[in-house]
Amino acid sequence: MKGYKKYTEKTIEGILFSSSIVTSITVLLIVFFLFREGLGLFSSSPYEPNHSLGINKSNTVTNLTSRQVKDIFDQQITNWKDLGGKNDTILLLTLSDVTNYVSEEELGAEYENLPIKVDSIVAANSGMIAYFPDTYFPDNFSGTLLNQDNITLSNFIAGREWIPTATPAAQFGVLPLILGTLWVSLVQYCWHYPLDWRFQFTSPKLPISD
């Protein structure tokens, strides 16, 4: 019976030790993977290629972070004053919204009039922000095309969201992934060491015979 108990304890100790090793290796692999992926992201744009953001020329906001753009199009930010601008409701304009302002006939059979209509819609609405492929903004766009900052190392490390499929601004922040990994590791170690201590110091010892 004692032999079976000792065998069970050794088995559990082995499982716990193996689990801690696997967890450590997993953490290292995740960190390596994240930073390897990040190297290809630095100095690239979080926006879709050949797309731009345009606003009314009266808008005093000239630069937005990718996080702010995401929050705008998720309607978590709904007023320009929250971004340092005027007290004006934010209006979104994408390809699916155009027919709310003009008819399909006005756009033309091949959407050949779309650039002109985008320009006129943005010009008529002071709180408008438009997101379109570059070809749908006319060369003489009467509004302002916003600057699009590239992804930086600080954004990558300190970013609080990892949503590479977010539109129009993908989010590549590894902070939540790193914190989640560390949290799992902490739980693992907190579970492992008390049990390991218990088996090493509180297990009954076999009597020593003379």
pLDDT per position as a tens digit, 57-107: 999 998 898 889 999 999 999 999 999 999 999 999 999 999 999 999 999
Q: How far apart, in Å, are the Cα atoms of 45 and each of 109, 144, 148, 193?
A: 32, 19, 7, 45
Mean pLDDT for the stretch of residues 169-198: 66
pTM of the model: 0.63
Sole residue written with tokens 């934010």: 90
Of the chain, the percentage scoring pLDDT greater than 70 comes to 62
Reported as a single tens digit per residue, the pLDDT across 4-38 is 666 666 676 666 667 667 766 776 777 677 666 65
Bridging pattern class, strands 91-93 and 128-133: parallel
Write the CA distances from 86 to 77, 78, 79, 90, integer angstroms: 13, 12, 8, 10
